[in-house]
Structure 1
């Protein structure tokens, strides 16, 4: 029996759907409203067709309700990166870009790569992720205002900046309180945070970023989790030529949080400090050593969550 693979391009008011009957089979196109009735009708239709894989392109948050509605109906849903879809389309020579074409490219990308569906976060998980993202935005705004304050000398402008910084700091305290209530209101999250914070170098901000933005922690092997965080090196070689390996991609918020934790861990965590010192003694550049520390820290955290055992000095 042919597999039924579905690509969905999400816009503010409409879903463009492309249904493939088999990996190389013909496609069917349709459009439905992006509302409760449209999503419910689409879920019923795809369920009746026996959809084996449904891909929804990440579109600035518009995809969340769609993915949750389809997954809630028991469909195997994956959220795909729009950059990967565009690169895939260009590789196929499809230069035109419309919503129906994007939906087709999503379906054909799924047929070619077969990504594994993963459980989507529930409502409380999405709320925590939104709160943590909002905290990052406020911290960024405070930093930007302080930069402006340091460059300006006009008293009236400086007072305006100071008032805004005060308001942002108040809002930051409020968001921190809401995040704290959210984590402490869930015994499971509280236990996970306690496990993560047992590692020297992991503070509340890093632990909660990992809870919100890396729910796969403890469920994947060390290579897969490093790739998700953007800490897996890319090998570059051609024939006898070998270039430097680079990191990139993945979840930027997780990678940033781990870098901060790695800088602290390289000074105060005995295991990471010794590891960092060995790399520096071996002649590794400081940034390369720090990346390695961040990757090792992530491996440690992944094992701790997997085994549900707190940090112990080796």
Structure 2
């Protein structure tokens, strides 16, 4: 894959490297420049355009590329960093990063990302904002433990109340957006039919894991970081550990998994069997988490609501 383009995006600029001709371009991140760049890419007919998921900066350019029908892969930045280390690229500038991203695309050929529903994009932004608000609320709650001054205590509580209101407002926005998209609404209803999964968790899953329904069992487990990873070398056999994947999805699934262990007969039976077999309780919980995401992926693939036979 020689006709691959790598794009490194920052707040005000983006750098482009084209493998086909080896050219580099440093471009101001403006609407006009985005349109001009997309027109150039349409003429160049690249096999793949690769960019990192930067937490939002990539969205304006990515939306225009999707609208033009160009093949775009939005990848985890950690994969790019690991690739740079593997090829011995230690220097780091925006231009170098664009070159590394292009080489990553040509070498590993990540699959093109499906054009996201606009409602999905907005919900992801809102979900990220909710995580920020909850982090701030936790920090303020922690400060109340050490507050001995009445005014300070009242100030902390005022901020906590405000954050609670903002979190509720974000949740309300998400609830109104999902019904506006028939595809999201249907998938959320299917997921919510799983005993132990509520409305908020279903909403988070359809937005943070849009691939649900298209994955294999192993891919679904790996994407959530609930699949055991081998750590063997020679005669050494390391302890299997879970990790990686989308930590926000794994964190969000924790409480629903505990609810499913109590109220879902299939998950409760699976958990009890693991614990009776000598597994540590937390190991059993993670295993249940993995089983839940695999079942939900199967439900979404078959477009069917909860049925114990999925287990």
* TM-score normalised by structure 1 residue count: 0.93
Match of 1:12 in 2: 11
Match of residue 265 from structure 2: 270
Could you tell me how far 1:282 is from its partner in structure 2? Answer: 1.0
1:97-141 deviation line (CA, Å, top 9, x unaligned): 111110000011111111111213122111111122222222232
Say whether residues 1:158 and 2:157 are aligned partners. Answer: no
The range that moved more, 185-194 or 273-282, is: 185-194
Among 294, 297, 303, which residue is 1:299 paired with?
294
Q: Cα RMSD over matched residues?
A: 1.6
* 2:114 match: 119
The equivalences for 1:1-314 within 5 A come to: 3-21=2-20, 27-314=22-309
Q: For residue 233 of structure 1, report the CA deviation from its aligned partner.
A: 2.1
Note the C-alpha offset of 1:271: 0.4
- Please tell me whether the aligned partners of residues 10 and 56 of structure 1 are also in contact (alpha carbons under 8 angstroms): yes
- Residue 209 (structure 1) shift: 0.8
State the distance in 2 between where 1:185 and 1:76 align.
Answer: 27
How far, CA to CA, are the matches of 2:181 and 2:260 in structure 1? 28
- In 2, the alpha carbon distance for the partners of 1:20 and 1:29 equals 9
| 3-state SS, counterpart of residue 181 of structure 1 | helix
Q: After the TM superposition, which parts of structure 1 deviate over 4 Å for at least 4 consecutive aligned residues? A: none
Residue by residue, what CA displacement relative to the aligned partner does 1:145-168 show, whole Å, maximum 9, x if unpaired?
222223322211111111111111
Aligned residues: 309
- CA distance in 1 between partners of 2:270 and 2:19 (Å): 50
Partner of 1:7, secondary structure, is strand
State the SS of the aligned residue for 2:145. Answer: helix
Question: Structure 1: which 5+ residue stretches go unaligned?
Answer: none
Tell me by how many angstroms 1:42 deviates: 1.6
